[in-house]
Chain A
């Protein structure tokens, strides 16, 4: 197990290094001078020179990367071309909003997907199984932002139950936060639920066909006992990892939903940085999300190996 963890840690470190190269090169891909492009009509020579020097753009490429990496390792991701504030501060300020949306969406998804996936597998071929499969297929095909717009139309426009957009911090006003997070979380959560439902169903079906399940049934155990004691415990091992990976994906993959619902998270920050051509903020947001994504994947792999020791052998 220790060898497996060390190997995965080293692999993740190598990939993270590659991620910093990609993120660093993003700025180099900007046609022309990125600082001049970012300043646009607000150009003045003093600001221009200061930002170029601060970003280290007046040095050779390799030196720029080494400096970038060194600063990134100490938590310094540069300063915003627009506000002059440290990128790390700006990005971390937005993290709680994204985290609260992603966690709520995954909870919503789990509440739907677990009962639906389990019942669908146990009653395979029944009406509820067909309904679950339709839900799954529709869920992976529907654009979440379209579902969000339809949600706004129904729950904010027609029924008037929920605000169409906006954000209230959970720590300031929990009730206000709940009413604002409901629509975006349900939108993202339904898509995630459709993915999880199919995973849970197929994982359950696989375990249900195992010999030890037939043995348990042959012993005369009640269905509930067989499902709870023998099937669920084994079927949910891979599902745990899928839930975690979904959470990791949502941390960086809800740009469109955050833009649609004016949710001030990392996705909205990325969008605003793109619009303002604030490249250091764009780089910082992308790097943070990729690092989080890698970290969650690493933890998931270790957790999976802990739950299923065959993984370390493989």
Chain B
């Protein structure tokens, strides 16, 4: 029975990798994400200038060979700041979705497996969180806990938890009726073992898809929180914050608004392309990006 689960997981992984290799759009998205990870990890070393090197003699300079993305109102190199800010976006995206995944999957597993009052209580709690528009709830949480990288990460993690709980529960409800699960129960396997070894591997496909799509939304949410001054605090660079700071100079220095926004757009697009390709292969019945965003806005 565990062999069945392992075969299922391996098969899904192979299909996922094959989809990413053979779909040109997904391949492009994967390459962009790989580059982003490199920039995110090594951005500080790769950046041509220091992110806080202020130089009043070169304020608001347009893009040139020495500063391909121009300079900001303090004379700082925009390219360097965009590169280093990639780490913030990736970090917040990965950690917040990790939180949502861990909490949501645990709640969904227990709700779907045990059903009854536990299912009712947990799912009504998720319904309550779903009743708030995502960004509004994240703003409210950050507002009371105080702005910063950690609170923004936690807030985004909290608001994306219900979607993982729902996806997991829906999967568990169908898998728990399968013969191999009933067989595991009949030989006396513990509930935790059944959930870990037999149920979870068989609901991995929708979770993988949901994770990749949620990463895109989490990065958008982080950018929005930073734009509102509730994410990473200055002088550390964040794409959303750079957009907010640049909006005052939008008509005289277009590059301040253009490049950080383009970085957010490309990152989110890359995650969405990969997510859509994974969905087509692993879980065609699951929501498309557009539909998922409907529940995420």
Are A and B co-members of a single complex?
Answer: yes
A19 to B226, CA, bound (A): 26
A211 to B70, CA, bound (A): 59
CB contacts under 8 Å to A, within B178-225, are 216, 220, 223-224
Do A270 and B261 touch (CB < 8 A)?
A: no
A194 to B272, CA, bound (A): 14
Among the 9-residue stretches A72-80, A282-290, A301-309, the one with 4 or more Cβ atoms under 8 Å from chain B is: A282-290
**B297 in the interface (beta carbon within 8 A):** yes
Among the 9-residue stretches A48-56, A142-150, A175-183, A220-228, the one with 4 or more Cβ atoms under 8 Å from chain B is: A142-150
Do A143 and B294 touch (CB < 8 A)?
A: no
Among the 9-residue stretches B36-44, B61-69, B169-177, B246-254, the one with 4 or more Cβ atoms under 8 Å from chain A is: B246-254
**B145 in the interface (beta carbon within 8 A):** yes
What is the size, in residues, of chain A's interface with B at 8 Å between Cβ atoms? Answer: 60
Do A242 and B228 touch (CB < 8 A)?
A: no
* Chain B residues closer than 8 Å to A153, beta-carbon distance: 250-251, 254, 257
**A63 in the interface (beta carbon within 8 A):** no
Do B294 and A14 touch (CB < 8 A)?
A: no
Q: Tell me the dominant secondary structure on chain B's binding face.
A: helix
- Taking CB as reference atom, which chain B residue is nearest A160? B251
Q: A15-B127, A249-B133, A274-B139 are in contact. Are A195 and B290 (CB under 8 A)?
A: yes
The tally of CB-CB contacts under 8 A between chains A and B is: 163
Q: A150-B257, A293-B131 are in contact. Are A249 and B294 (CB under 8 A)?
A: yes
Q: Tell me the dominant secondary structure on chain A's binding face.
A: helix
Q: 27 A-B residue contacts at CB 8 Å?
A: A29-B144, A137-B269, A137-B273, A140-B272, A140-B290, A141-B269, A141-B272, A145-B224, A149-B246, A149-B257, A150-B257, A156-B251, A249-B133, A251-B133, A252-B132, A252-B133, A253-B136, A255-B135, A255-B224, A256-B224, A256-B228, A259-B227, A270-B136, A270-B140, A277-B143, A286-B137, A289-B136
The list of the 8 closest CB pairs from A to B, nearest first, reads A146-B261, A18-B128, A157-B251, A141-B269, A252-B133, A198-B290, A274-B143, A253-B133
Q: Please give the residue numbers on chain B whose beta carbons come within 8 Å of chain A beta carbons, in ascending order.
A: 124-125, 127-129, 131-137, 139-146, 216, 220, 223-224, 227-230, 240, 243, 246-247, 250-251, 254, 257-258, 260-262, 264-265, 268-269, 272-273, 276, 288-291, 293-294, 297
